[in-house]
Amino acid sequence: MQHLAQNKKLPICIWWLFLGTLLNRLGTLVPAFLTLYLQLQKDADTTVVGLLTGTWGAGATFGALVGGVVSDRFGPRGAIASAQVITLLSCIGLFLSSDVVSLVPIIFFLGCASSFARPAAGVVISNELPSAKHIRAFGIVYWASNIGSAFSFIISGMLVELSPEFLLLFNSCTAFLYLLISTRLPRIDSVAEKRSSYGQVVLKTFSPFLNPKVLAFLSLVLVLSLIYLQKQSTLPLDMTEKGISPTAFGVVLSLNGILIILFQPLVTSLFQNVDEKYCFSLAALLLGCGFGLNAISTTTVSFALSLTVWTAGEILLIPQVSSFLLKIASEGENGTYQGAFYFVWSLGLALGAPVGLAVFHAFGGGVVWGACLVAGILVSVLFMLSLHKIRGREAESGHLS
């Protein structure tokens, strides 16, 4: 219970973030239920639904990047409040819309709002906590996100059966509550220069990618996201081909959220003082080996064991990435660097799904999982080397505490 006692020492604003993130993930209209809503309420055909779901994904990817800059420029309160207002307006627009053309910008902004506020947590954590507590705080926020996501599927499923419109109502209610919670967060004056030209603001948006060594780090994170997000594309098909029923697949995948809810605080507490390069290296190895084990998995139990391995890598990775980016971010760009991470992670789905499925259809699941294993091992080694170089450079420039 030691890790729970330590968590009580976190300032109240972190627990407001916990509650807000939990509500946000509970109410977010995820693609699976967005698809159902469009089919049941808007009578959209499969092709249109696919395009609109892709539009939601594009909005989520864009929102993470812009949300980071807004968090730096106008403070986390402004970013979180803006995201909830966009959500409320998008839900109203989605309810009132009557044609496909009008749905495109509405769903884009709905996807944008789903990720717009996520980088704001990094700005709050960096300003309110010493670096020694960053990993623990990010672990708490990530824990809330997974608890919300896990129960979101249950609640959304029940609401769809009652009436698809209840999905929008529920999303609106959680957005309104998070809007109220945002007023409880500390007011943080932005370090970013508010009188910058629009060109300078755009340049700041991409500043993490303009630093070669930070770009190398984010590229390794992208590779891991390409591996991890096969769970949403290739893994279902592979399990189906091996005779695993859809019900069993759902049970196996639900284990991912259960493990995170049960073990995230403990793992974060155990590894918060371990050197980052070892944490990243181990996380990459676990992700690669976990998905690599799918090649020899043929039963529900064996797939569940594989999932347990790569979930351990996920639990270890996400808070560590967020914390590390705070250390290497330039002054006034904490939110921008957090946004770059969420952008890269979302990009993993956009790129990983079609590539993974193409390889799966051409060469089979064994090749896909073998590639995941090799990529995980390679990234594990490269993390050890690249982190050493990045930390050496940042220490010289005074960015590391």
User: Of residues 198 and 176, which shows the higher confidence score?
Assistant: 176
Query: What does the pLDDT read at residue 79?
Result: 92
Query: What does the pLDDT read at residue 248?
Result: 83
Provide the pLDDT confidence category of residue 195 given band limits of 50, 70 and 90.
Answer: very low
Written as six digits, the tokens of 93 are: 């627009």
Query: What does the pLDDT read at residue 378?
Result: 97
Residues 342, 115: contact at Cβ < 8 Å? yes
Q: Where are the alpha helices (DSSP H) in 229-299?
A: 234-241, 246-271, 276-292
- What rounded mean pLDDT belongs to the chain? 84
The CA distances from residue 68 to 80, 210, 256, 265, in Å, are 11, 16, 28, 25
Provide the pLDDT confidence category of residue 227 given band limits of 50, 70 and 90.
Answer: very high
pLDDT 10s digits, 62-108: 898 889 988 888 889 999 999 999 999 999 998 888 777 888 898 89
Nearest-CA neighbor of 44 among 90, 88, 97, 105? Answer: 97
User: Of residues 130 and 291, which shows the higher confidence score?
Assistant: 291
- Out of 52-61, 265-274, 310-319, which region has the weakest mean confidence (pLDDT)? 52-61
CA 381, 138, 156, 245 torsion: positive or negative? positive
Amino acid symbol at 297: S
Provide the pLDDT confidence category of residue 155 given band limits of 50, 70 and 90.
Answer: confident
Check whether 117 has a pLDDT greater than 70. Answer: yes
- Out of 98-102, 198-202, 212-216, 307-311, which region has the weakest mean confidence (pLDDT)? 198-202
Rounded Cα distance between 174 and 27, Å, is 6
**Against a cut of 0.85, is the pTM above it?**
no
Residues 156, 33: contact at Cβ < 8 Å? yes
Query: What does the pLDDT read at residue 397?
Result: 41
Check whether 1 has a pLDDT greater than 50. Answer: no
Residues 328, 214: contact at Cβ < 8 Å? yes
The stretch 218-237 carries a mean pLDDT of 90
Provide the pLDDT confidence category of residue 132 given band limits of 50, 70 and 90.
Answer: confident
Rounded Cα distance between 369 and 288, Å, is 8
Query: What does the pLDDT read at residue 396?
Result: 44
Rounded Cα distance between 214 and 390, Å, is 7
Query: What does the pLDDT read at residue 393?
Result: 47
Query: What does the pLDDT read at residue 400?
Result: 40
Residues 334, 354: contact at Cβ < 8 Å? no
The stretch 277-293 carries a mean pLDDT of 96
